[in-house]
Amino acid sequence: MISTVRIIELVVFYILSLSVGYLFLFAIASKFYRRRKYAQAEKMNRFAVLFPAYKEDKVIIQSVTSFLEQDYPKDKYEVIVISDHMEDATNEALSQLPIRLIKATYTDSSKAKAMSLAMDVTEHGHYDMVVVMDADNLTTPQFLQEMNKARNAGLKAIQAHRTAKNTNTDVALLDAVSEEINNSLFRKGHVAMGFSSALIGSGMALDNDWFRYNVKRLQTAGEDKELEMLLLKDRIYIEYLEDLYVLDEKVQKKKAFRISAEGGLHHRLVRY
């Protein structure tokens, strides 16, 4: 007879095999990923670009100033900073820039609440898509041009290639490697097999009307996973643009790490 210990070993083995097999499948699939090229279109869509910023005084000015250098018509996008518990000096500096500054004073701040507030104070029909950035993100001047091409191809949900801005510590390097592994498995691998790309929380663009309705439904700190689930329920495909880079600051201390919903090491910064 098979001993109880042997039965437990077999059960654990099969459970772990499913997990490993799942990751292995998408790892192989990522090798067959083919970039889609979207043609330039005459229509210039209107974008609301959100920068939720909770105590991000050190990085927000650089990120916003950099984004304002977009090679895209100035009247076709609006940068909206949701300033949550930032210093008066930072808010004053932001107010001098050609952006919309919204001040939030939540006692229990969250990125979802900040994004919802931004939707509350902007015109419903004024935009075609909403772009979500993190306060430390930097990107190429062609970011909105590329998003516009994909939008004009009929896409309602797009994820750019978020990658490391810094690898100055061992922990930051680990975080950077983790993110690229997740990009291969859950974005390239998914898309190569005909599934939606996974969202990653920033560097993403979503249909304005859809986002305005669904941002009110977010309830957890994993707002990207909630949005992903809601898109899936509505049968909206998420495209992945591997050649469109968004630089993201990587954590530099061990205590900032957690195990992510994507199955690998990732981080949740203190700000949200």
DSSP string, 179-215: HHHHHIIIIIHHHHTTPPPPP-SSSEEEEHHHHHHHG
The answer as to whether 262 is a domain residue is: yes
d(CA 35, CA 152): 17
Structure tokens at 8: 């437990």
20 found inside a domain = no
User: Would you put residue 259 in left (φ > 0), alpha (ψ -120 to 50) or beta?
Assistant: beta
Q: Please count the structural domains in the chain.
A: 1
Domain that holds residue 48: 31-267
- Residue 46's pLDDT is 97
**CA quadruple 191, 197, 200, 201: dihedral sign:** positive
For residue 178, the surrounding DSSP H or E stretch is helix 170-183
Domain harbouring 257, CATH code: 3.90.550.10
Let me know if residue 5 belongs to a domain: no
Q: Express each pLDDT in 165-213 by its tens digit.
A: 888 888 888 888 889 999 999 999 999 999 999 999 999 999 999 999 9
Do 251 and 175 contact (CB within 8 A), yes or no? yes
Residue 206, both tokens: 């979503």
Q: State the pLDDT at residue 11.
A: 86
Find out whether 256 and 170 touch, Cβ atoms under 8 Å: no
* pLDDT bucket at 26, cuts 50 / 70 / 90: very high
Give the Cα separation of 65 and 13 in Å (integer).
Answer: 52
The answer to the question of residue 2 being in a domain is: no
Confirm whether 1 is domain-assigned.
Answer: no
Tell me, yes or no, whether 26 lies in a domain.
no
Q: Are the C-beta atoms of 26 and 187 separated by less than 8 Å?
A: no
Would 195 be classed as within a structural domain? yes
Residue 10 lies in a domain: no
How large is the average pLDDT for residues 122-129? 89
Residues 100, 30: Cα–Cα separation, whole Å:
39
Q: State yes or no: pLDDT of 4 exceeds 50.
A: yes
* Least-confidence region, from 3-17, 143-157, 235-249: 3-17
Where does residue 16 rank: exposed (0-12), middle (13-18), buried (19+ CB within 10 A)?
A: exposed
